[in-house]
């Protein structure tokens, strides 16, 4: 069963973010193959927030959503690789807004000289918020949880840019839950997303530009086939 998309619930911050992602060329429409082998009518590539202006604006969206969420955290942790840039940028924006928190990130390979180890940045301690672009399978989150707990700290949540709200794929089989729901229900972490597929549908429904509105049926059909109840 999927959520009724005829009148999707959304908010101004999410709508502004979707519009920004489309304008920046980060959110595109067409036909794209996902890691799960599905043909998706849209593609979100956070790696294309690739200049100072776009990265700074992205950080504003993360920071505003986090502060509005009420989630309590003491520091940010960015899993390599995309999470590294996100943790740094969002910590700067949070400080600008009056919440100055440290951040850390991991290396893919341990360093055997200098400070050594796999963790870089501030000491990992207290309530640690993991930051990434999306949650595809939850693998990165599980790895981050292990590193945070090994350091003696407590993972308290995950923040992402976009929640695709679609069924996870496990060994090639569609699961009844999404990767985000797995993190929430099985790993016990809160997930704060700037926007969701529901918000994307609302954005397309409000478009007068036929280049965008023409993508609505395909996105709705994808949601009907792969969407999860939220």
From 33, 35, 54, 111, the catalytic residue: 111
Q: Quick one: tokens of 60?
A: 């504003």
DSSP string, 45-76: -GGG--SHHHHHHHHHHHHHHHHHHT---SEE
Q: Which residues contact 179 (CB under 8 A, 6 or more apart)?
A: 135, 136, 137, 138, 168
177 is a catalytic site residue: no
Q: Return the biggest CA–CA distance within the chain.
A: 57
From 108, 113, 167, 177, the catalytic residue: 113
Strands 117-121 and 173-178: unpaired
Distance (Å, whole) CA 219 – CA 100 = 39
Q: Is 187:156 a contact under the CB 8 Å cutoff?
A: no
Q: Which residues are catalytically annotated?
A: 111, 113
């Amino acid at each position: 069963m999927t959520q009724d998309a005829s009148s999707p619930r959304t908010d101004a911050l999410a709508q502004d973010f979707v519009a920004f992602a489309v304008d920046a060329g980060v959110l595109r429409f067409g036909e794209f193959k996902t890691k799960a082998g599905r043909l998706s009518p849209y593609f979100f590539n956070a790696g294309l927030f690739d200049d100072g202006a776009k990265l700074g604006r992205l950080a504003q969206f993360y920071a505003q959503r986090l502060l509005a969420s009420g989630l309590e955290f003491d520091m940010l942790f960015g899993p390599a690789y995309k999470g590294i840039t996100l943790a740094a940028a969002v910590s700067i924006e949070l400080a600008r807004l009056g919440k100055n928190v440290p951040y850390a990130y991991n290396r893919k390979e341990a360093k055997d000289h200098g400070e050594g180890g796999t963790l870089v940045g501030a000491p990992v301690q207290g309530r640690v918020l993991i930051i990434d672009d999306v949650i595809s399978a939850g693998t990165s989150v599980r790895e981050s949880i292990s590193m945070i707990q090994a350091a003696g700290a407590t993972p308290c949540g995950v923040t992402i840019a976009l929640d695709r709200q679609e069924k996870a794929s496990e060994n090639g089989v569609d699961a009844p839950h999404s990767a985000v729901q797995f993190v929430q229900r099985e790993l016990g972490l809160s997930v704060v997303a700037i926007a969701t597929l529901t918000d994307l549908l609302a954005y397309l429904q409000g478009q007068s530009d036929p280049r965008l509105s023409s993508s609505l049926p395909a996105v709705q059909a994808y949601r009907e086939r792969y969407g999860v109840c939220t």
